Structure 1
Amino acid sequence: MKRIVQELYKSAHVAGHAASAAKTWQRNVSGLAQDSAQKSPSRAQLRAHALQSAVPMIGFGVVDCVVMTQVGSTMDAVLGARLGISSITAAAIGLFCSDSCGVLFGGTIESFAGRLGLPTANLTSEQLEMPETKRVATLGRLVGVQLGVLLGSTTLLLQGGGDADRNSAQETACAADLPSHLAATAAITTAADVVVFSKPGCPFCEEAENMLLASGVAFRKVPHDVHQKNLQELTSSTAAPSIWMHGKYVGNKYIDGGHRRPSHDLAVRRRES
């Protein structure tokens, strides 16, 4: 009888220990689930993290676009006329400068963004490594740089070209009245605000080009020999260079900003011939 009682006591003790172990395991599992739920960032944290990722990229986009467009257009106007480089080469020079500025001023842009008082996400290191956190940060940077590029592109509205657009219809009509071989040359004279038909090694051409460059006037350089006969029919002159401004012949010298009266130059050329 005593042995039976001892066996029952042992069985009850073992069962109680097992029940206690099961409760402990359940508490641990529920605690891990709560910890996992706490580690997932909230929507407010994700929004704050996306905003912090987007704002610096807006600055990068603005700087990159402004530097690339302005430097590229300047290189196209200056080096394109002097060295004959293509527009895509000028764009590559502008891209080189814009990327360099991004590296040089990246810390300044991030520091400025940090002083704007943006909401803090307060994410832990584990939360920063979560997939949803990385996706939100990537999306914020993408939207930020696109917005910055759009803002930087507004500087293109400040560039000139309005006079050529306003006179394009009139210039096209005038070219249509000319013979086909003259119309091709006339079309070139309206391809830019200032067009210079120049000969290689011609000192007068170099002098005119240097005066234009020194005055900050962008111009398109065209071989004079190819269009010499057509230019003679259009201007009654074979002199080089042949300078055109807004589709009007202004002579072979750059004087007083090129605002000489075309009729006066034509009369002079006709007397010379």
Structure 2
Amino acid sequence: MLRLCLPRVLQPCVLGLRGRFHLQKCSLGTHKHKEKLELLNSPQGAKDFIYSLHPTERSCLLKELQNFESMAIAQEKLEALPPNASQLRYVLLHNAIPFVGFGFLDNAIMIAAGTQIEISIGVTFGISTMAAAALGNLVSDLAGLGLAGYVEALAARLGMQIPDLSPKQVDMWQTRVSSHMGKAIGVTIGCILGMFPLLFLSDDDEEETKGAPLTRPTDSK
């Protein structure tokens, strides 16, 4: 069973999360992700994003954009200091917490679903181990579409407010590095914690090995 589990543990930590969780309607970081910037950098991309929002979300987004731009214009001629160490640590922690949940759910669901697919559909139709792993990843991706919002809501209930930074500080490279480091650390911790189904799978492998009938070599004489 480890032939199935190990490839699935190593593969999804970044690939499965990159396209799924960074395109949520509510941004949890202090700035937009690079992929989202490229998406909204064109009129068509911005239009597609706006049409995908609920009317209440569009009103809230417009209000926050106006506030942000007014603050940026007012502070345009002022020289902003880089964020201090305490602010950068808060930015890192603020981005890490939700991604712990994302990584945990992605790995745990994929391992559990892939294993069940291998021992049921895989045995019936004779599909390969990697095909079962791919189907398990599909189940994990579909589950992530519905669970991502709950993870974000749970992270918000922990009381982690948006870091209090000025518009210039938000765009500084120190803030961006801290944000990306927080996401990477959170995904890493979540994926490691999500490997817990492997503990139960290894026990099942031992039981199957012990229960397998032993074959004796036939006497050639």
TM range (shorter): 0.5 to 0.7
Q: For residue 79 of structure 2, give the secondary structure of its aligned residue in structure 1.
A: helix
**Contact 1:55–1:144 (CA under 8 A) maintained in structure 2:** yes
Distance between the aligned counterparts of 1:163 and 1:106, measured in 2? 32
Distance between the aligned counterparts of 1:147 and 1:163, measured in 2? 26
Distance between the aligned counterparts of 1:139 and 1:193, measured in 2? 43
The structure whose Rg is larger is 1
Q: For residue 76 of structure 1, give the secondary structure of its aligned residue in structure 2.
A: helix
Q: Out of 145, 169, 174, which is 1:127 matched to?
A: 169
Q: Out of 199, 203, 212, which is 1:157 matched to?
A: 199
Q: What TM-score do the two structures reach when normalised by structure 1? A: 0.47
Q: CA deviation at 1:103?
A: 2.0
Alignment partner, residue 104 of structure 1 = 146
Once the two structures are superposed, the pairs formed by residues 12-161 of structure 1 within 5 Å of their partners are 35-38=78-81, 40-118=82-160, 120-161=162-203
Q: Which has the higher contact order (CA 8 A, sep 6+)?
A: 2
Find runs of 4+ consecutive structure 1 residues off by over 4 angstroms: none
Structure 1: gaps (5+ residues): 1-31, 166-191, 195-244, 250-273
- Provide the alpha-carbon RMSD of the alignment: 2.6
Give the structure with the larger strand fraction. 1
The verdict on how the C-alpha distance between 1:37 and 1:163 changes in structure 2, with shifts beyond 3 A counting, is closer
Deviations 1:58-96 (A, max 9, x none): 000100001100000100110111000011000001111
**Amino acid in the other structure paired with 1:144:** G
Distance between the aligned counterparts of 1:161 and 1:41, measured in 2? 49
Q: For residue 194 of structure 2, give the secondary structure of its aligned residue in structure 1.
A: helix
How many corresponding residue pairs?
141
Q: CA deviation at 1:128?
A: 1.6
Distance between the aligned counterparts of 1:85 and 1:162, measured in 2? 21
Distance between the aligned counterparts of 1:112 and 1:161, measured in 2? 32
**Amino acid in the other structure paired with 1:35:** L
Distance between the aligned counterparts of 2:100 and 2:121, measured in 1? 31
Q: Percent identity?
A: 31
The verdict on how the C-alpha distance between 1:126 and 1:79 changes in structure 2, with shifts beyond 3 A counting, is same
Structure 2: gaps (5+ residues): 1-74, 216-221
**Contact 2:80–2:168 (CA under 8 A) maintained in structure 1:** no
